[in-house]
Structure 1
Amino acid sequence: MLEAQVHQRLKKLLRQCGRPGWPHHLTLSRLVARSLRRQDVTAIHIAPGSDPSWMLSLLLPLWMGRHPVALVASQPLLMRLRRVELERLAHAGLGCPLWEGADCPAEVPIWLIDPVQLLRAWRSGGLGERQVVVLEAERFEQDLRSAMGCCLTAEAWEQLRRLLPHCTAELAYEHEQLRRAVFAHPVNPQARVALSDAEQAPLRRLLTLADPLPQPWRCWLESLSPGWVSWAETDHQLLRWTLCRQPLEPLALLPPLPGRGLVLAGVPGPAQALLGALRHAKAVTVRLGDPPLQDPIPLFHPHHQPLPNSPVFADHLLDQCRRLMLGRAGLSVVLLDDDPLRQRLTSALAAEFGGRVCHQQPSPDGNGILCASWSWWLEHHARLPSPCQVVVAALPIASLEDPLTAARVRRWRLQGDDWFRSLLLPEALARLQRGVAPLRGQEDVRLALLDGRVRRRSWGQLVLDALQPTLPLRHLFPKQDIPRPGA
């Protein structure tokens, strides 16, 4: 059987690579091999902070089984696979025909694609009978949502004007009406403005006069349905705006996907939600334990902190960040999604600490202070130096000021579900775990939690549980005085 063959080969491969850095290699390889053989739906929960060598155990059954498979990963992860895991397999003498890009021939067993290419393959019928293996299941739904969506930029409007020269005046009028509607809304930290169907109806009627329409206009016109949400991304300084549309449930638009063999590997919270979106009751779900967490992270979480929406929060944040940065020799990271507040905090810290401070800079100094949004940090932290300190200025809970989040919440409310504890909080906890994962297994690190909601809300204990194991720090000790368990 494939499981037994993979088991023996993986043991030999791990011996060649040295001591394995992850305790579940053999279990993962057997699960993937069984799923390929049975062509079922399997969700494998990989705890945040796990050694990335787990991907080698997932790839080995694909290489040995030669089943027709579409291996889906984001572009940054595909780059890592090419440089690390695929090289290890080749060095071990495990060659397998591999196709990258569009239009994979049926005789090539492994097709390496990103979510955008997966969507194109599904639309064109190019997937055939291939099973689908998804790495980073925690971002799969959002990546599909972005791939299915469309944005109408200034260039798209100019393209439409050239296509419809007889409607130039009407197009200019509709563009101006939308512009006024967009900038009539107050500025918000998300820089996004929700647009109603009524505000877009005149443009829709005008577009029906043109046939055929080029992309992205055709996508925009075809997506005007209750399952989609529209908003405008604004730049009030330059008075620029972009009209965007994305589906609320992208997986519902891929109905054949759950009907084939499917392996989802990723962070537990979003991966479990992904199964719910697939509506697959017979899925096999396995949690492969926690990563090595023998050393708890020192957690600084003072009492009596203000809420993020209070008028004193900005001053509190600056005061605490000043204290936290003193005496730290490595990279410190401050995570905050409120863009205006983050910009002000960056400027204030730069006035205190000079050139050490940077804002979403992909090459910070070794002893730098990096201020970033959660999404930027999650996208780039694998390519940055390991931080000695992560400061969670505010939890990464999606804001209802974001039109996409508001639309998703409305749908959950209509279904009578607890939209906060079932939707927003699990997503936030998963992002929190991934954001602090670089601290795991490091020496002389510290995590600071400055969001007052953790102690003041009934769900605050769930946040602390998601961060375990931690070691409470009641004071900011010098490096040599940080207490240890049992001391």
Structure 2
Amino acid sequence: MLEAYAHNYLKNLLKKNSFAWPHNLTLSRLISRSLRRKDRSFIQLETSDMKQSWPGVLVPLCLHSSEVVLVLTTSQRQRLLSFELPRLKLEGLHLSSWEGPMPPTGNQLWLLDHLEFFKAFCEGHLHSKQLIIPEAELLSSRLRDCMSIKVCANHWDSLRRAHPSAASALIKLHERLTRKLFAHATCVDGTVRMDFSETVVLMDLVAVLGHAPSPWPEVVAAIRHGWASWAELDHKLLDWCWNLKPLEPLKDLHIVFERNSLVLLSLTKQNDFFLKQLEPFVGSFDVKVKLGDEFCQHQEPIQLFAPRRQPLPNTEYFAEHLLDQCRRLILGRKGITIILLDDYQLLRQLTSELAAEFGKRVILESTSPETNGVICCQSFWWMNFQDQLPIPEQLILGILPFPSLELPLTAARVDAYKRQGQDWFRDLLLPELLNLLPRLIWPVRKHHGRIAILDGRLRSRSWGERVLQSLEPWTPLERLLPD
């Protein structure tokens, strides 16, 4: 049996190599079982780092990789090719892999990133494949990014050149949309949501014209499917780019998820929320497993400073409270401090006020801090650049990083939830926050730093308990004392 062979191989490896995660043997048996039975499995890994569980995933694939697709991010693929596979090769285990847009003709494991995965779906290359997808909790957002469409001035030009007879109508339509978008702009170089009523004329015109160059057929299909639609304005050039993204990308790919055997590996602790969002589009699972003990048994508790009776972010004195607490948290620190604040105007104000007191130590979204520097940034910037920064000593969350309703994509998703009569806060915004928080604090937790949350809603709202649970294990830091 595949399970027994994989178990024995990995057991021998574990005798020679002390892999950090103690549940790789069980994981290898689960992966082997799913590969052999071609079933549908959802495996929650009780670990904060996917790197620890690669041996349990890869050893079964060394024994059975035919018709298997592994969907990876760029960084995951780099680690796989440069570290994991050479490590297995030293132990006599060889895993042949295939990269490229066309499926392998042999028994190689097919490696795809999320954009390649979407293209393979569109071209019908995923039929009968077994899918293995790590970090499944991020699958929807990653697919949404690679499915997005961006229409700029050169695309309007190509449409006019393809249909000279309609050039005048297209110019007038573009000018009308331009005037309307800039009239509704609330800030320089901001974004303006485009409603269906603003694009229906364009959709009808493109339909009448017939064949149109890319990406116009995709744009028409996106509008018909109700994708989020917004414009990015450039006030300097008086120009704009049109963005479209799917609200629920899994819905567009539901056929491949419902018909194919698959293994989804998730690191999220919020399984109830995640599965509720996942199953309408992916279908039911034959196996649902939580693998490993609770997080608190494998991690040291992190110090959490979150005083009671803090003001709410919408109060007039919250900015003053934020400045005062950040000043106290920064004072005397010898290492790097990260301050996360997704309200960009308030972030710039806070950065300026802290710089007036602490000088060049304080920087705004820069990867070149001093040894005791203070980096003020938004959460998405921190997620993108945390690997390029020194290990922080503390992380300060000024406001809990809920998805902003000012973002057109979030607003469109919320509207869709409202139309369906769903609780858009507890079924959409709160789960996304709970999924994000452990990833934001992981570098600090791993190196035994501390975190502070200065948002008064954490203690005053009923859902605050869910947020505290997502941060487990932690120990309260009641007072700020010098080292």
Q: Same fold (TM over 0.5)?
A: yes
Within the alignment, does 1:476 sit opposite 2:476 as a pair? no
CA contact (8 A) 1:264 1:271 kept: no
2:417 to 401, 412, 416: 412
In structure 1, what residue type is equivalent to 2:281? L
Superposition pairs of residues 50-199 of structure 1, within 5 angstroms = 50=49, 52-187=51-186, 191-199=190-198
- 1:394, 1:132 → 2: CA distance? 38
Q: CA separation of 1:431/1:200 partners in 2, compared to 1, >3 Å: closer, same or farther? A: same
Q: Secondary structure at the match of 1:310?
A: coil
Q: Which moved more, 1:148-157 or 1:201-210?
A: 201-210
CA contact (8 A) 2:66 2:106 kept: no
Deviation at 1:219, TM superposition (A): 0.9
**Between Structure 1 and Structure 2, how many residues are aligned?**
477
Q: Which moved more, 1:96-105 or 1:357-366?
A: 357-366
CA contact (8 A) 2:104 2:110 kept: no
Equivalent residue for 2:13? 13
- 1:190, 1:271 → 2: CA distance? 35
Q: Secondary structure at the match of 2:224?
A: coil
Deviation at 1:435, TM superposition (A): 0.8
Q: Secondary structure at the match of 2:263?
A: strand
CA contact (8 A) 1:50 1:290 kept: no
- 1:381, 1:272 → 2: CA distance? 28
In structure 1, what residue type is equivalent to 2:243? C
Deviation at 1:302, TM superposition (A): 1.8
Q: Secondary structure at the match of 1:128?
A: coil
In structure 1, what residue type is equivalent to 2:391? S
In structure 2, what residue type is equivalent to 1:449? I
CA contact (8 A) 2:308 2:459 kept: yes
Q: Which moved more, 1:341-350 or 1:96-105?
A: 341-350
Deviation at 1:274, TM superposition (A): 5.3
Q: CA separation of 1:43/1:299 partners in 2, compared to 1, >3 Å: closer, same or farther? A: same
CA contact (8 A) 1:48 1:433 kept: no
CA contact (8 A) 2:85 2:95 kept: no
Q: Secondary structure at the match of 1:390?
A: strand
Equivalent residue for 1:483? none
Q: Secondary structure at the match of 2:472?
A: coil
Deviation at 1:185, TM superposition (A): 2.5
- 2:224, 2:111 → 1: CA distance? 32
Within the alignment, does 1:338 sit opposite 2:343 as a pair? yes
Q: Which moved more, 1:425-434 or 1:270-279?
A: 270-279
Equivalent residue for 2:374? 369
1:454 to 453, 458, 461: 458
Cα deviation digits, residues 209-231 of structure 1 (max 9, x gap):
44422222221012222532211
Q: Secondary structure at the match of 2:264?
A: strand
Deviation at 1:87, TM superposition (A): 2.4
Q: Which moved more, 1:294-303 or 1:271-280?
A: 271-280
- 2:19, 2:62 → 1: CA distance? 20
Q: Secondary structure at the match of 1:125?
A: coil
Q: CA separation of 1:117/1:401 partners in 2, compared to 1, >3 Å: closer, same or farther? A: same
CA contact (8 A) 2:185 2:191 kept: no
Within the alignment, does 1:302 sit opposite 2:307 as a pair? yes
Equivalent residue for 1:225? 224
- 2:365, 2:274 → 1: CA distance? 28
Deviation at 1:279, TM superposition (A): 4.5
Q: CA separation of 1:282/1:265 partners in 2, compared to 1, >3 Å: closer, same or farther? A: closer
Within the alignment, does 1:264 sit opposite 2:264 as a pair? yes
In structure 2, what residue type is equivalent to 1:228? W
- 2:329, 2:237 → 1: CA distance? 36
In structure 2, what residue type is equivalent to 1:285? K
Equivalent residue for 2:330? 325
Unaligned runs of 5+ in 1: 480-487
Equivalent residue for 2:444? 439
CA contact (8 A) 2:339 2:376 kept: yes
Equivalent residue for 1:484? none
Cα deviation digits, residues 214-258 of structure 1 (max 9, x gap):
222221012222532211233556654321112222112121322
CA contact (8 A) 1:41 1:261 kept: yes
Deviation at 1:469, TM superposition (A): 2.0
2:289 to 262, 286, 291: 286
Q: CA separation of 1:178/1:126 partners in 2, compared to 1, >3 Å: closer, same or farther? A: same
TM-score of the two chains, using structure 1 as the length reference? 0.91
Identity of aligned residues (%): 42
In structure 2, what residue type is equivalent to 1:213? A
In structure 1, what residue type is equivalent to 2:139? F
CA contact (8 A) 2:399 2:454 kept: yes
In structure 2, what residue type is equivalent to 1:126? H
Unaligned runs of 5+ in 2: none
Q: CA separation of 1:107/1:276 partners in 2, compared to 1, >3 Å: closer, same or farther? A: same
Deviation at 1:273, TM superposition (A): 4.6
Equivalent residue for 1:351? 356
In structure 2, what residue type is equivalent to 1:431? L
- 2:439, 2:320 → 1: CA distance? 27
Superposition pairs of residues 417-432 of structure 1, within 5 angstroms = 417-432=422-437
CA contact (8 A) 2:41 2:285 kept: no
- 2:383, 2:401 → 1: CA distance? 11
Equivalent residue for 2:211? 212
Q: CA separation of 1:275/1:31 partners in 2, compared to 1, >3 Å: closer, same or farther? A: farther
Q: CA separation of 1:94/1:299 partners in 2, compared to 1, >3 Å: closer, same or farther? A: same
- 1:294, 1:99 → 2: CA distance? 36
Superposition pairs of residues 231-250 of structure 1, within 5 angstroms = 231-235=230-234, 239-250=238-249
TM-score of the two chains, using structure 2 as the length reference? 0.91
Deviation at 1:10, TM superposition (A): 1.2
Deviation at 1:294, TM superposition (A): 4.5
In structure 1, what residue type is equivalent to 2:412? A
Q: CA separation of 1:91/1:158 partners in 2, compared to 1, >3 Å: closer, same or farther? A: farther
CA contact (8 A) 1:386 1:438 kept: yes
Q: Which moved more, 1:340-349 or 1:429-438?
A: 340-349
Q: Which moved more, 1:300-309 or 1:407-416?
A: 407-416
